[in-house]
Every structure is written in C-alpha cells, then in structure tokens.
Amino acid sequence: MRSFLSYLIPLLFLVFDVFASDYHEQLNLKPLPQSSLLASFNFRSNTTLTQFAAHNFRYFPRSLGQILQHVGTRELHLRFSLGRWDAESWGARPWDGTKEGGTGVELWAWLEADTEEEADHKWLTLTNALSGLFCASLNFIDETRTTRPVMSFRPEGDHGPAIDRMHLLHGVLPHEIVCTENLTPFLKLLPCKGKAGISSLLDGHKLFDATWQSMAIDIRPLCPPGQECVLQIEQTIDMVLDIERSKRPRAGEEWSLDQLFGKYLKGTCPLTDPDVPPVCIQVPERRDIFSTGGAVEIKNPNGLSRCYQISPERDFSMILPRMPRDGDNPKTTADEHVQPGTPLLYAERSFTGHGQERGGVQSILTNPSPDTEVEFVYMESLPWFMRVYLHTLKARVEGTSGAKDDLIEEIYYRPALDRARGTQLELRMRVPPASTVFLTYDFEKSVLRYTEYPPDANRGFDVAASIITILPSTSPNAPPTLQKTSNLRTTSLLLSLPTPDFSMPYNVIIFTSTAIALAFGGLYNILVRRFVGADEGPEEVGGLRGKIALLVAKLKSVTKGKVD
Amino acid sequence: MPRLLATLATLRGDPRLLKLPPYLSLSCIVVGVVWLLLLPLDEFSRRTYISENALLPGQVNTYFGGSDRNVFQAYRHEIDALAEKTNYEINDELENILRGIGLKVGRQNYTYHSAGHTYAGENAYAILHAPRGDATEAIVLVTAWKNVKNEFNRNGVALGLALARYFKRWSLWSKDIILVVTPDSRAGIQAWVDAYHDTHDSSRVASLPIKSGLLQGAVAIDYPHREGGFDGVHVVYDGVNGQLPNLDLINSVSYIANGQMGLHSFIQERFQHSDKYDDRLRTMLRGMMNQGLGHAVGAHSSFIPYHVDAVTLQPVGNGWHDEMGFGRLVESAFRSLNNLLEHLHQSFFFYLLMHKDRFVSIGTYLPSAMLIAVNFTIMAILMWVKSGSGEGASQPTVSTIVTGKGTVEEKKEVVTATPSTPTTPERDIYLPLGIVIACHFLGALPLFIFNHTPSHLLAPIFLVFSIFNITLPPFISSLANLTPANGLTLQHFYVLKCFSLLLLGMFLSSLATLNFSLAFLVGLVSSPLSFTSPWPSNTTVRYAYAALLNILSPPAVILAGVAAYAHYGASGTTLLGALEHVLREAAFGWDVWGLYIPVVVCLGRYGLEVWLPDLTYFGLGLDEESLGQTLYLTFYDLDAEEEDQIYHSPPDSRGKLVLQMLDVLMLHPRFPIVWN
C-alpha cells in the first residue's frame, strides 16, 4: 500500500502546481513482476472557462472543444482499452483504476439539458461527433447501449448549481477493437502532437503490442479556491509491456527505454511546465539505472522512485542493466522492482451453464484485506437479449468471518425492453474482510430476428464488463487507498445465442421469389393480355410494305367515312 | 376420374394388396443396405474442402524448433523423473514448471465410482492469457499423462509444456490457450470439461479455480514413447455418443499435415489406404462402428458433446519427422484455430469419412437408415389394417387360431365376404398399449443391475442373466398354457405389433438424424423381426425360430462381440475376463461419460430377449416379432428421449433409466471390428 502511495506522491505534488501552468506531461514507469513494465503517460492542460467560452482554446484541443460547446457537455470521460490487468501478479491498478475502461470503448458524460429527451438528443450528437473525431464506432452507442447510472458515477469536476440540470449518460462498445487509428487522433489533441516530449515515445506498434493498455480522456471543470475556474483536459495512456517481447529480437535481462519503445525520447515538449520532471521511474534505491547524457536524476527521499529532468534538445533514454546476483554487490529480486500493492478487491466474472436456451453469470469478488470491509457499487449493463431473472440473484459469502445475509444493501434495477434498451443493474454491496462473495444470477437467451444478427453471428455477442466502484470508507482508520473512490472492471464476456443457419433464410427467399416470379408472372401475363383469334387480329406485315398497307387502310377508312 | 376412383376402390378390397407390404418392406431394407454400400463410389462421395475461409490452414510459417528442442528435451527429462510419482507429486512439479513459464495454474480433484472401482485423480491445467485479449475465447491443448491405451504419454506431456513456453513468447494469440494435463484420458478430461461448463456434480468433481472464455476448439496430443521418427499423423475424431467435430477441423489438420509438414494423415486406424472401394468401405464402416458404439476414443472425445470441436493427434509410421515436427503441426493447427473469427460452423457436423479427403454428408447417407426405419412403419400400417379387417377380432383364444394355415384361410374369407362394406371392428388398444409401456419400463431392471454390480460379479451375473433369458420364456409359456382363460385375441397381437413397429420406425428415424450409425445398425439387427410369421405348428421350425431369436438377442450379440474382442483385440484374455472388462467399460461409460447408447441397446435387447420368446411360447398365435418389437421399442423410445436430452444438456442431467449391455460392447476402445 505504501509503495503505491509513494507512486502517487509526485502526482499529488503536482496537483498544487497544476493550476499554475497550463500544460504539463509526465511519464511514469514502474517495473512489475514477471518482466513486465507499466508505463503511464499523463498529459494535462487547462483553459479558463471564460476563455473557453470565448473560443480561445489555447492548449485545449479546438476540435474537441467545439464539440463540447455544441452539445453542452459539462464533463466527459472517454476510454479505449484492450487486454486485461493481471491483478494477481501486478497488484493494484494505476490511478486506482479511475482512468481505465472496460474492453473496447467506454464513454460517459454529463450533459446539460432540461429534459431527458433533450439529453438523449444531445448524447446522440455527441457520440456521432466523437465517432468521427476518434475514428471509433461510437455512433453505435444507441439507446439499447445507453444507460443512466444512478449510483456508480459521481461528477469529478466542480459544477456548482448547474449540477441540477446535468444528465449522466453512459455507453459501452465492448466489441470495438482499439487500434492505431484511435491513437493518431488521440495524439493530435496534444500540444506537441507526438513530435516532442514523452509523447514521442508513443508508437502504434508498441502500444498495441502491450499486454494491457488503456487510453483515457477526462474533461472536467475545476474551480480551485480563490482562482478562476478552469476546464481541464487530462489525457492518459497506461500500458503494460512484456519486456522480453518488446525488446525482441534482443535477449537478456537488460533493457532500455529505446529498446522497449523502439525510439528515443525526443527532448521535452517546449510548452510543458519546466518544473515537472518528464520521466519518473519507480524502482528500489539499489536498482542501477544509467541514463543518457544531459539528464539529471532526482531521487525521491522515500527511496522508491526517482525522476529525470532531461535536456530539451537531446534524445533521452535510460538503461536498466542486469542485476548481478553475486559478486561484490549482490542484488536480490526485491531490489529489482517495488513490490506491487495489494488491490482492494479482486473481481472475476464468467458464464455458467451451457446450451442455447439459458445460462448464468457468476461474479467472484474477493476481498484480500484481513481486516477491512470493502463497500462498492457493482454495475452491469446487459444487452436486451440477455433476459435476466432477477429473482435468481444470489450473493453467497465464503470466508473466515461469519456469514452475513445483508451483503447486498441496495439494488437499482431497470429492466430491459426488447429492442429498446438494455438491462441496468446496480448493486450496492460489501465484502467482509478476507472473504469471497459469489454473486450469481440466471438469464434466458432471446432468439433474434434474423436481420438482427451481425455478419459474424457465430462468434457470439460481447457483453460489456461490469463496473465496480469502490466507495470511500466512512471509518476514519481505513487505509489511505480506501479513503477515495477507486474503480475496477471485470473482463467482458462472449455470449453465444441460438444462431440460425443463415443459408436457410436465403434459400427460402430464393425459393419463394422463384415461385412468385413463376406464378405471378404467368398470372399477370394472362390478366393484362387480351386474347383474340389469330384470324380476328389485324394482319400485320412488317417492314415498309406493312406501313404502306397500314396507311392505305387508314385512308380507305377515312374516305369511307366521308362517303357515308 | 370416377373410373380411377372405382379402380382404387376395387383395389382397396383386393386381397393382393395386403400381400404387398412385406415385399415393400423387404425392398426398403435391401435398398437401404445397397445405398450404404454405394456411398464409397466416386459418384456418391465428395472430396473434402475447407469451408471456413478464416482457418487458412498451413499458411503460416512455423518456428517451433531450434533451441526449443533443448527445452523439449529438458522437459522430457523432468517428465521421465516423475514417471513413477503419484498424481499429486506430478502436479506439484507441473505447477512449478507452468508457473515458471508465467501461466496461471489451477488444479482440480475428481472422484468417480463405477462398477465397484474408484477413478480418482487430480487435473492440472494452466491458462496462457492472450496477450491482448480479455478472456472471451480460448483454445485447449490436452496432454493426458496416460493415453486411452493407458500408455505413458511421455512425449506428449513434454511437448505440451514446450509448446506452452513457446506460445507464451508470441503476441499474436487472439484467444487464451489452456494446457490441460489430466492423469488419464477418460475420466479426468471428462471431469475438467464438465466443470468448465459448470455442469459437474460437485460431490464428485471439484469446480475449477480459474477459468477463461468460450472454448473454440481443442487438440489432444497422444504421443507415447516410440522408437525413431514418424511419417504420418492419425487424426482421431469420434466423440462421445457418436457426435462428431466440425469437418473443417479434421480437414485443416489433414491439410496442414499433408501440405505444410509433408506428413501422411490417416483416419480410423487404416494406415494403408489405397483410396479404392474396399478401403473406403472399411474406413467408413469402422467409423460407423465407432460412432454407433459412442465411446470416447481419445482425450478429445469429452469436448464434443459441449459443441467444442476437438481432435486427438497421434504420430504413426516410421520416418524422419521427430517431436519438433509434431510440435510444428500442433503449432500450425493452433494458428489456424487462432484465426477463427467465429465458432466453427461453416462445414459439416454430420458426415461419414471414408478417406482423409473423401466424405459423404448427411443428405446423401441418411436415406439408407431412413429406408430401414420406414420398413417398420410399413409393417405397422399393415398390422393396423389387419387388426381392423375383422380378422381374428372375435376369435376367442389360442387353440382355435394357432395354425398359420387357419389364419390365412380366415383372412381370405373375410376379404372376399366384405369387399364393399368392410366391417371395422372395435380395436381394443388399451391392453396392447399397456404391454408396450410395461415393456419399456422393464428395461430399467437390467440397467440398474449392471450399473450397480461390482466388476468381479459382472461376468457371472451376465451369464446367469443370459441363461435366465433363454430358459424363462419357455417356462412361462408352458405355465401360461395351463391357464386357458387369458382373453387375448389375435387382434390384440396385431395391434400390439402395430404399436411396437410404429414406435420402432419413429424412434429409428429420429435417431438416424442424431446418430446415423447406431440407428442403422440397430435397424439392421432388428429387421428380421418384421418378417416373422405367426407361430408355426411344425416343431422343428418352431425351435429353429426360437434359436434365431436367441441368436439375435442382446446377450448373444454381446457375447459374440466379446468373443471377437477376446480373440482379436486382447489375445490372451479369457472370454470371461473379456466379458468382465467390456461390462465394466460399459458401466464406466454410463457413469462417467453419460453414454446413452447402452440404454438403447441393453434395454431394448433385454426386453426383447426376455419377453419375445415368452410370448411366442404362449402359443397364442401371436407373432413373435410384435413382442420383440415391443421390447426393441422400449429401448428405442427411451433412447430417443435420452438423446434429445443429451444433445442439449450435459451428460449427468439425463435420467438414468436404462441398462447397458450393448454399450458395453461399444465402450471398449479397442473393440475390434469384425471386418477389420
């Protein structure tokens, strides 16, 4: 826990500084067990609300700012995530999990609107605009994927009285695959656009080869006491690199920044706050690190992290050599990386049962702490074709402490409507110390209309991750990590629905079309034609002769008429 | 038109019409069998092809080799050191190795009881998380410690470990990879698959501590110690209860082996295949036998009922390929499975393979089993008409109508007397219906006995049961003959036979769509029963009949199978030993795999055996076939219901209604096929 705190210390330190400067960026590296490396990129810029209202965006990206102004967005959070955080090996999540989303794309925003309809309308505009900006299918967040969470999310910014008119909308696209086309617009929002500073390390090949990766954009208004209110945009990229894989084809335990990211850090971004060291690494004091020339090492007094001030003009890299296990100065594994902190809660979710008719969901929530209870909100937003039987919802506890019946304290349930909206289930519950709660419920699988299946129907349907919001503890002697809200997401699930053989509808269509063509064609032919005997019809002779004959006949009839 | 109707009306009364169905029925059987025999011809079978384009088999470079050879040999060294250790010690060591590779490891205990034996052990498995995935899909690599022949899968386990380590290095996996090491290839893997789908009985099988996503495919490696290299791969694909994996999977493996690896590939243990008619026919019949028996033929078999496509790969022949080559084959197969965007669904799930690249699909082969099923329905209709024609309706009992001659005369009389206004007497259907239902439920008796008997008593009990079956019917019939007032008329027997045949036809035709081979084989064995004529007065003929019925009875068929097994499959064992073995296997299949085939076979067969002669000896002029059918039906009927459940539910949820005799036969993996 302490180590994790220390990880946050430089950041806390920066919070004081945040409002002084308009832009700052920092890269935090943290070697993890099993030869992994967590790299957290953080970019933050501020614009005062008055200037923002006057369209003077300064470091705030104009493209995004205009969208926000257009749809009256007060606060916005956008997440692109890939892979899974291995809490068992890597411990607690970076940023307490508040800067990550479920697999795919996740978006939630507080919109200013007078009615729900207006909010829905603005939400539609927002998703469509963001979809274009970030090259993601955000426009597929329709009403069936939109929820209005009640307990899980709280605004992070200072909104003042406007909070009464704000509507929270939340949407997830679990099947969206995050890739380079999402990174490029993300980098373009930065003042240095990936050309200088820590963002010059970001490269699609390395970022998307990461074992776990999350890109986040948070926009919120902040009103520091005694200062003008600012609109803050914070962009974060967290990634866990497999060191061995990233530095391939080179082998060995030694690694350097340029090997892992494929390039050097190109100086500093000239716009950044010069007081903030751009690169920090969390390693024990005894770990040897060599950096390129021009960089100044600043050791944190707690001995668990050090930062580097680097030259604005020169390329920067650092090398972490192999630790000698014997010799004059033998090192141990404990010297290699800081022991990761224990997470507050482990969550795992899977399907139970088999077959195409019904199934079940089981979430296993484990509280590893020996003495502290964890209280949280568990939120599921399920697609409408998963018909949840709420009466089967059960929470069972296993652990050392005595079983308690009141695990679930509050339930908010909004049932699904077929083809209109999904199920929203929010549970406020708690897990006693050192115990595991099994949360299970059953559901029925709907049969879709055949046009409702996607082209890859046999793959199954993605079910979004459930979102766990750990509520701050009310007790005064709770550990510091429990003093504030933290988040956690399970993995997404793949639901297989009964899928028809799609050649069948087409066979039927082709067959009926043929039958109709034959029957209808024949019938129509009979109905619209007049049948006359061959000898009754006018004798038709083709060509010039025919025309002349026709003319003669006409003339004859005319003259006949005159005679009559 | 009126003339046609008039012709039809006269035809309806024509006694010749009633003589037609037996010939029609016979021709159905003959055509059905001939149809099956025609299938191996080029005109009826098709070349295999890969339907799922996403698989792209053999289109990737495989890199398993080089320094991985040293890794493999090191693991094999470790494995050799563990050969004599207990299951738990082995798993401790495996867990160390797998954790060292960086995988998540889980262990699972299971205990099965069957025929007085306990099958217990602990599975170890490891999940390699897809580097960028999130646990939505997974593919499985199974390396059982012992293969189905109980040989130490020395190379297989080492290869599994080496491959896991090698796979860990790649970032291209879109699905999790699960390596499962079970102590055996029969009970352990069943326990694991059941628990993965949460359909296990938690009193016998423990839940899995860690899980991944939907299983998209499984490959089992069966590579015991062998001298020298190999030059071919044997693809084993039959699943439990005769279900088959998607044909695309088999084709992909074959394609990779033949094209990319330069290996031969074989199916159904035909290692010399000329691709001529007789080899194709033998391969197909062997496949049908395996399907009909429905036993697990490899570690992969247990996956298939859960709609997870799976195959077992075995090296065969002598050549220059070594373990690394086998590893590359598995690697390439995994890369293909990894490419899958959707669950395998494009290609066929119902097929008969007759060569590695020649098959017939269900549309082509189904008519043969259907025709055999139709023969029973035709006879059932005939019986219904006969029962309604007044014939035998009011004939009081036994003695008056015993002779076949008398019946025929009567029939003529009736038909000629009432050509225009046929009198349709009331049919009493309750008594025959009651008999049919009773026969159905009687089948539960032997099922219970043979599933709850310790294995050393199985063979004696079976023999006692067989003798009992042969001697009881004459005894009962002689007893019955002493009581003349038994109110049964000939009509009762016609209706009884009608119901029996009708049900038999119905169940066989529905069974044919699920397990073609079983339906075909059972239909064929029971087809003579359609043609038994009323009880002959001639004593010699009568006893010949009785003998024929006994030969066709389940105990006799099982004994014949066991004898063949003892002779070809396990030379050196006595007949009794083989019998005990087979019966124990049957009980195992029932208890662990959830086979339904035994139910079908045993129940029907036993009922038949016990009751058919019984009734025939009653001397009531009853057609013996009707009773036989009844019994057959009994088990078929159960079977069909069972099957339906089995198809949609895990094995343990089905009701345990029936016996398991025939399945016994089928269960044994090494059961030799007569024509082999």
* CA A487 to each of CA A106, A472, B466, B552: distance values in angstroms, whole numbers, following the listed order: 14, 11, 69, 70
| CA gap A381, A421 in Å, rounded | 10
| Whole-number pLDDT of residue B654 | 30
Do residues B310 and B239 touch, judged by C-beta distance below 8 A?
Answer: yes
- For tokens 């494929």, name the residue: A262
pLDDT tier at B425, thresholds 50, 70, 90: low
| CA gap B314, B232 in Å, rounded | 8
Helix axes B68-82, B87-101, angle to 10 degrees: 160
**B306 contacts on A by Cβ (under 8 Å):** 354
Exposed/middle/buried for residue A451 (C-beta within 10 Å: 0-12, 13-18, 19+): exposed
Instruction: Select B66-274+294-342's CATH number: 2.30.130.10, 1.10.1040.10, 3.40.50.40, 3.40.630.10.
Output: 3.40.630.10
**A82 contacts on B by Cβ (under 8 Å):** 132, 134
| Whole-number pLDDT of residue B234 | 94
Mean pLDDT, to the nearest integer, of B458-486?
Answer: 65
What would the CATH number be for the domain defined by A346-495?
2.60.40.740
Q: Which of B134, B210, B214 sits opposite A491 (nearest CB)?
A: B134
pLDDT tier at B537, thresholds 50, 70, 90: low
| Whole-number pLDDT of residue B443 | 66
- Determine contact: A453 vs chain B, CB below 8 A: no
| Whole-number pLDDT of residue B502 | 84
CB contact under 8 A, B345 and A458: yes
| Nearest CA distance, A462 vs chain B (angstrom) | 8
Closest-CA residue of chain B to A461 = B136
Q: Looking at chain A from residue 347 to 376, which residues have their Cβ under 8 Å from any Cβ of chain B?
A: 348, 350-357, 360, 362
Lowest-confidence pick of A201-210, A313-322, B143-152, B401-410: B401-410
Domain limits of chain B? 66-274+294-342, 377-667
pLDDT tier at A378, thresholds 50, 70, 90: very high
| Nearest CA distance, B343 vs chain A (angstrom) | 5
Lowest-confidence pick of A24-33, B278-287, B400-409: B400-409
| CA gap B535, B549 in Å, rounded | 13
- Determine contact: A499 vs chain B, CB below 8 A: yes
- Determine contact: B648 vs chain A, CB below 8 A: yes
Q: Output the six-digit token pair for A314.
A: 């020169």
CB contact under 8 A, A84 and B133: yes
pLDDT tier at B330, thresholds 50, 70, 90: very high
Lowest-confidence pick of A369-383, B99-113, B406-420: B406-420
| Whole-number pLDDT of residue A18 | 43
| Whole-number pLDDT of residue B427 | 77
Q: For chain A, what is the mean pLDDT? A: 85
Highest mean pLDDT among A251-255, A292-296, A376-380: A376-380
Lowest-confidence pick of A178-182, A278-282, B503-507: B503-507
In the three-class reduction of DSSP (H, G, I as helix; E, B as strand; rest coil), residue B206 is classed as coil
Highest mean pLDDT among A57-66, A435-444, B464-473, B510-519: A435-444
Q: Report pLDDT digits (tens) over B553-571.
A: 666 777 777 777 777 665 5
Lowest-confidence pick of A55-59, B123-127, B564-568: B564-568
Closest-CA residue of chain B to A494 = B136
Q: Which of B136, B306, B345 sits opposite A492 (nearest CB)?
A: B136
Highest mean pLDDT among A550-554, B45-49, B470-474: B45-49
| CA gap B508, B515 in Å, rounded | 10
| Nearest CA distance, A458 vs chain B (angstrom) | 5
| Whole-number pLDDT of residue B542 | 66
Lowest-confidence pick of A541-545, B42-46, B144-148: A541-545
CB contact under 8 A, B133 and A355: no
Q: Report pLDDT digits (tens) over B178-191.
A: 999 999 888 999 99
**B648 contacts on A by Cβ (under 8 Å):** 355-357
- Has residue B614 got a pLDDT over 80? no
Do residues A148 and A167 touch, judged by C-beta distance below 8 A?
Answer: yes
Q: Report pLDDT digits (tens) over A69-105.
A: 999 899 999 999 988 898 888 988 998 889 988 889 9
- Has residue A158 got a pLDDT over 60? yes
* CA B104 to each of CA B177, B178, B209, B427, B487: distance values in angstroms, whole numbers, following the listed order: 11, 9, 10, 69, 73
| Nearest CA distance, A49 vs chain B (angstrom) | 39
Q: Report pLDDT digits (tens) over A499-527.
A: 888 877 788 889 899 988 888 888 888 88
pLDDT tier at B469, thresholds 50, 70, 90: low
| CA gap B552, B645 in Å, rounded | 29
Q: Output the six-digit token pair for A297.
A: 């090492």
**B197 contacts on A by Cβ (under 8 Å):** 352-354
CB contact under 8 A, A460 and B214: yes
Q: For chain B, what is the mean pLDDT? A: 76
| CA gap A110, A162 in Å, rounded | 11
% residues pLDDT > 70 (chain B): 74
Mean pLDDT, to the nearest integer, of B125-153?
Answer: 90
| CA gap B634, A234 in Å, rounded | 73
| CA gap B74, B370 in Å, rounded | 56
List Cβ neighbours of B216 (8 Å cut-off, separation of 6 or more).
B137, B138, B139, B175, B308, B309, B337, B340, B343, B344
| Nearest CA distance, A352 vs chain B (angstrom) | 6
CB contact under 8 A, A242 and B171: yes
